[in-house]
Structures are given as structure tokens and as C-alpha cells.
Structure 1
Amino acid sequence: MTGYWLGVVSRDHVRRGVELGIAQANHGKRAAAERMRPGDGLVYYSPRTGMRAGAPVRAFTALGVIDDVPAWQADDPTGCFRPWRRSVTYRPVEQVGIDTLREVLDLTAAPNWGMVLRRGLIPLTAHDFALIEAAMTGEFAAVRAARGPRATVAG
């Protein structure tokens, strides 16, 4: 069974992860890396450019699929930070603001949806993954065809 995940990470860290072909979440916690399975879809949402500061972004910034490689702990010569990671095949996509999709996502249907994002790595519905993927790959006709929350993507 394919799962879908939304990682909430600063855009600077997302860009570094895409360059390296890796994913890490929740400050490199092992449990987060091991929850993602080979073949799962991963979307990153970046609230800001930097981890603790930076300009607001509020956009989906990367999309990929978890590779069939076990989670591993990164080496750090100083031994101070050894995050757990997964290998990811990222797709070439365009950044898409969350406001573009807010009206059609299951994720944003609840009034307090922003609080859910504080968890760092959260399950995403297949519906939401498909809409975000369509928007990020330029298939806006499919996004426009969605009629309200939990609608299907037109083919």
C-alpha cells in the first residue's frame, strides 16, 4: 500500500535535501524516517525560507518518491548531529503556494489546519497528494477540474 506524506521543513533545508537526494523530518528523528516506506509519495511544505527565521514562503516546495533504500543515520565528523535519512527520487516541479489549493485540500478543510503542520511529518491523503502533484507539475487543468474538498482529479 502506498502512503503519502507531508513534511514541514524550511525551504533552505528542502533545497539542500533535494540536492542530496535525501529526506529527513522532525529534526532527523529515526521514527520519522522509518515511517516512510519505499514507494511512498513525499511533498514538502515550507512555511519560511529558514528554520527559525526568514521570509514567509507558505508553499509546497518539493515532491518525490521514497526509494527502496533503508533509513540510515548520517555521519557527522563532530558527532553533534546525526540525523536519520531516507533516499528520495525528486521530480522536477514548481513551487506552489498553499493558497492556490486551500479550497480543495483535505488538509486545509479543518479550521485549525495550521496546528497540524506543527507535527513536522504528517500523513497526506491520496486526494491531496494528487492535487498537489498536479499543481506542482503544471497540470492546472486537473486542479481546476476539482470541484471542492475531496473531489477527484480529472484525467
Structure 2
Amino acid sequence: MKHWLAVASAAHVALGYAGNFMQVCHGKKGPLSKINPADGIVYYSPSKVFGKKDGLMSLTAIGYVAQGEPYPFDMGGGFVPFRRDVVWLSDRVCPIAPLLDRLEFTANKKSWG
């Protein structure tokens, strides 16, 4: 089992949480194919809304990948991103700043934003 950190706005994470799925890299299949069922997933949201710099900088959801493979989902307008089903455990917002000194993957604290 591996653990993965995905990055998306909190608004996008909330949609995935409500629908029990994850979507990364603007819907590309490749990154989702590297993730396996039972792998852990944590979402980091630099902002509340995509493209805005509102300074959220928080972990926004945690769960694990459900059984199955990445699948296409027609969102309309010709956009058909790939998704993966997730069993979410929490969508509690947790600011990253107090954790930067404790997490192994945050060695370069100046890069977080």
C-alpha cells in the first residue's frame, strides 16, 4: 500500500468527496493508473477556488482508493475526464503550516503555497 498526495482546489475536492471519486491532472488517466485499490489518498488545496490565490493552503480530504480501475466520466461540453472511486474518511480542513516541520515530504517549506 502506498500513500498519495493530490492537489486541487477545495471546491473541486468537495465535488469528489460528495461523489466518492477523485480526479487529478485535469482528468488524465495516466496518474490514476499508478494508484492501486487500498492506497491512501490525501488532497492538498492551495486555494478554495481554482485559479484564485486565497491562501487556503490546507489538507482537505483523506481516504483510500476503492476497488476498480480509472473510468471516463462525461461532464458535458466534450470534457470526459478520468476518475477513480474513493472511500473518503474525512473532509475536515487542516491547515498545512503547523504540519510542515512534522511531515517528511515537506522538507522545503518555502515551496508550500
Q: How does the TM-score come out when normalised to structure 2? A: 0.91
Per the alignment, residue 65 of structure 2 pairs with: 66
Q: State the shift of 1:55 in Å.
A: 2.0
How far apart in 1 are the matches of 2:44 and 2:96?
8
- The 1:19/1:54 distance shift into structure 2, 3 A limit, reads farther
- The 1:39/1:83 distance shift into structure 2, 3 A limit, reads same
Q: After TM superposition, list the pairs within 5 Å mapping 1:1-155 onto structure 2.
A: 2-53=1-52, 55-79=54-78, 81-110=79-108, 113-114=111-112
State the structure with more CA Rg: 1
SS in 2 for 1:106: coil
How far apart in 2 are the matches of 1:111 and 1:93?
24
Opposite residue 104 of structure 1, the aligned amino acid is R
Aligned length: 113
How far apart in 1 are the matches of 2:82 and 2:2?
19
Q: State the shift of 1:32 in Å.
A: 1.3
Task: Give unpaired runs (5+ residues) of structure 1.
Answer: 118-155
Task: Give unpaired runs (5+ residues) of structure 2.
Answer: none
Q: State the shift of 1:76 in Å.
A: 3.3
SS in 2 for 1:91: strand
Q: State the shift of 1:69 in Å.
A: 1.3
Opposite residue 83 of structure 1, the aligned amino acid is P
Identity %: 30
SS in 1 for 2:90: coil
Output the aligned Cα RMSD. 1.6
SS in 1 for 2:56: strand
- Which has a greater percent of strand? 2
How far apart in 2 are the matches of 1:63 and 1:73?
22
| Partners of 2:23 and 2:84 within 8 A in 1 | yes
Opposite residue 96 of structure 1, the aligned amino acid is C
SS in 1 for 2:60: strand
SS in 2 for 1:56: coil
Opposite residue 47 of structure 1, the aligned amino acid is P
